[in-house]
Amino acid sequence: MYRRSLALVSLLTLLAVLLAACGGATPTQAPAAQTPAAQQAPAAQPPAPSAGQVTLQYWLWDANQLPAYQQCANVFMAKNPNIKIEITQQGWGDYWSNLQTGMVAGTAPDVFTNHLAKYPEFASKGQLVDIEPYVKRDGVDLSIYLPGLADLWARDGKRYGLPKDWDTIAIVYNKNALDAAGVTLDELNNATWNPEDGGTFGQLLARLTVDENGRNALDPAFDKTKIKQYGLIINGAGEAYGQTEWSWLAYTTGWKHVDGLYGTKYYFDDPRFIKTIQWYADMMAQGKIMPLELVSSLGGAAAFNAGKGALHANGSWMIGEFANNATFPFGFARLPKGPEGRKSMFNGLADSIWIGTKHVEEAWQWAKFLASPECANIVGDAGVVFPAQQSGVERALAAYQKRGLDVSAFTEQALEPGGTFLFPVTDHASEIVSIISPVMQSIMLGQAKAADVLPAANAEVNALFK
Amino acid sequence: MSLQVSPVPRLALPSRPKRRWRRREVIWAALLILPSLVGFIAFYAIPAVRGVFISFTDWDLLTQAKWIGLENYQRLLKDPEFRNALKVTFYYVLLNIPLQTVLATVIAVMMARLSTSVLIRAVLILPWLMPSVVVGLLWLWLMDPNIGIINVTLRSLGLSTIPFLNVPALAMPSIALINIWQYVGYTALLLFAGLQSIPGSVYEAASIDGASETQMFWKVTLPLLRPVMVFVVVTSVIGSFQVFDTIAITTKGGPVNATKVLNWYIYEQAFSRFNMGYATAISMVLFLMLIVISAIQMRLLRAGESDL
Are A324 and A365 within one domain? Answer: no
Cα gap B229→B237, rounded to integer Å: 12
Round to whole Å and give the CA distance between B137 and B248: 10
A236 within some domain: yes
Interface of A with B in 331-360 (CB under 8 A): none
User: Does residue B294 sit within a domain?
Assistant: yes
Structural domains in chain B (count)? 1
Within a domain: A27: no
End-to-end CA distance of chain B: 25
Question: Residue A454: its pLDDT value, please?
Answer: 96
pLDDT tier at A151, thresholds 50, 70, 90: confident
Chain A residue with Cα closest to B252: A297
Task: List all residues 6 or more positions away from B259 whose beta carbon is below 8 Å from its beta carbon.
Answer: B88, B92, B171, B172, B175, B247, B251, B253
Domain shared by A160 and A191, yes or no: no
Question: Does A118 have pLDDT greater than 80?
Answer: yes
- Are A332 and A246 members of one domain? yes
Confidence of residue A277 (pLDDT cuts 50, 70, 90): very high
Question: A229 — contact with chain B (CB < 8 Å)?
Answer: no
Confirm or reject contact between A15 and chain B (CB < 8 A). Answer: yes
- B11 part of a folded domain: no
One domain for residues A274 and A222: yes
- Whether A428 and A330 map to the same domain: the answer is yes
Q: Indicate if the pLDDT at residue A38 is higher than 70.
A: no
Task: Check whether residue A204 and residue A260 sit in a common domain.
Answer: yes
Whether B220 is in a domain gets the answer yes
Banded pLDDT at B1 (limits 50, 70, 90):
very low
Spatial neighbors of A41 by CB under 8 A, at least 6 apart, are A133
Within-domain flag for A123: yes
Instruction: Mark whether A189 and A255 lie in a shared domain.
Output: yes
pLDDT at A22 over 70: no
Q: Degrees (nearest 5) of the Cα angle B220, B223, B225?
A: 95
Residues A427 and A288 in one domain: yes
Per-residue pLDDT, averaged over A347-367, amounts to: 93
Contacts of residue B233, defined as CB under 8 A and 6 or more positions apart, other chains included, come to: B97, B101, B297, B301
Is pLDDT of B292 > 60?
Answer: yes
> What is the pLDDT at residue A261?
81
Q: Of the candidates A100, A225, A438, which has its C-beta nearest B257's C-beta? A: A438
pLDDT at B75 over 70: yes
Mean pLDDT, residues A111-140: 91
Identify the residue among A297, A430, A432, A461 best suited for mutation to test binding to B, counting B beta carbons within 10 A and taking the highest.
A297
Distance CA A264, CA A258 (A): 7
Examine residue A96 and state whether it is found in any structural domain, yes or no. Answer: yes
Summary mean pLDDT of chain A:
87
In a domain, A256, yes or no: yes
Check: complex ipTM more than 0.85: no
User: Is the CB of residue A426 less than 8 Å from the CB of residue A348?
Assistant: no
In a domain, B210, yes or no: yes
Residues β-bridged to residue A276: none
Which tens digit of pLDDT belongs to each residue from A173-222? 999 999 999 999 999 999 999 999 999 999 999 999 999 888 999 989 89
pLDDT at A95 over 70: yes
A235, A284, A294, A325, best to mutate vs chain B, most B CBs in 10 Å: A294
Q: Tell me the per-residue pLDDT of A312-328, one tens digit each, with 9 for 90 and over.
A: 999 998 998 898 888 89
* Residue A43: band (very low, low, confident or very high) from pLDDT cuts 50, 70, 90: very low
pLDDT at position B306 is: 66
B140 touches chain A (CB under 8 A): yes
Residue B214: give the domain boundaries.
81-300
**Is B64 touching A (CB cutoff 8 A)?**
yes
Judge if A387 and A329 occupy the same domain: no
Sign of torsion, CA A98 A104 A105 A109?
positive
Domain encompassing residue A149:
49-167+348-402
**Looking at the domain assignment, is residue B63 inside a domain?**
no
Q: What pLDDT sits at residue A40?
A: 47
pLDDT, residue B20, reads: 66
The CATH number for A249's domain is 3.40.190.10
Residue B176 predicted with pLDDT over 90: yes
Beta carbons of B61 and A103 less than 8 Å apart: yes
Model pLDDT, residue A31: 39
* Set of chain B residues whose Cβ sits within 8 Å of the Cβ of A11: 31, 34-35
DSSP classification of residue A143: G
Residues A452 and A330 in one domain: yes
B255 touching A, CB under 8 A?
Answer: yes
Q: Which residues contact A447 (CB under 8 A, 6 or more apart)?
A: B168, B256
DSSP secondary structure of B175-222 = HHHHHHHHHHHHHHHHHHHHHHTS-HHHHHHHHHTT--HHHHIIIIIH
Of B39, B148, B163, the CB nearest to A18: B39
Instruction: List the single residue in B62, B166, B254 with the smallest CB-CB distance to A103.
Output: B62
On whether residue B61 sits in a domain, the answer given is no
Residues A175 and A268 in one domain: yes
Q: Does residue A37 lie within any of the structural domains?
A: no
Return all residues near A423 (Cβ < 8 A) that are at least 6 apart.
A116, A117, A152, A241, A243, A345, A346, A347, A348
Task: Write down the pLDDT at residue A290.
Answer: 95
The 8-class DSSP code of residue A38 comes to: G
Q: What is the pLDDT of residue B203?
A: 86
- Whether A445 sits inside 8 A of B250 (CB atoms) is no
Provide, for chain B, the percentages of residues in helix, strand and coil under a 3-state DSSP scheme, each rounded to the nearest 5.
Answer: 70, 0, 30
Residue A143 clears pLDDT 70, i.e. is over it: yes
3-state secondary structure of A426: coil
Asked if the model's pLDDT at residue B12 lies above 70, the reply is no
Please indicate if any CB of chain A lies within 8 Å of the CB of B66: no
Which CATH number belongs to the domain containing residue B189 in this structure?
1.10.3720.10
Mean pLDDT value across residues A46-56: 68
Is B1 domain-assigned? Answer: no
Q: Which of A311, A349, A306 minimizes the C-alpha distance to A230?
A: A311
DSSP output for A172-188: EEEHHHHHHHT--HHHH
CB contact under 8 A, B161 and A294: yes
**Which of B166, B268, B278 is the best residue to mutate to test the A interface, defined by the most A CB atoms within 10 Å of its own CB?**
B166
Give B30's contacts in chain A (Cβ within 8 Å): none
pLDDT above 90 for A229: yes
Is there a domain that residue A323 lies in? yes
The count of structural domains within chain A is: 2
Looking at the structure, do residues A329 and A442 belong to the same domain, yes or no? Answer: yes
Q: What are phi and psi of A84, to 5 degrees?
A: -115, 130
Give a yes or no: residue A17 inside a domain: no
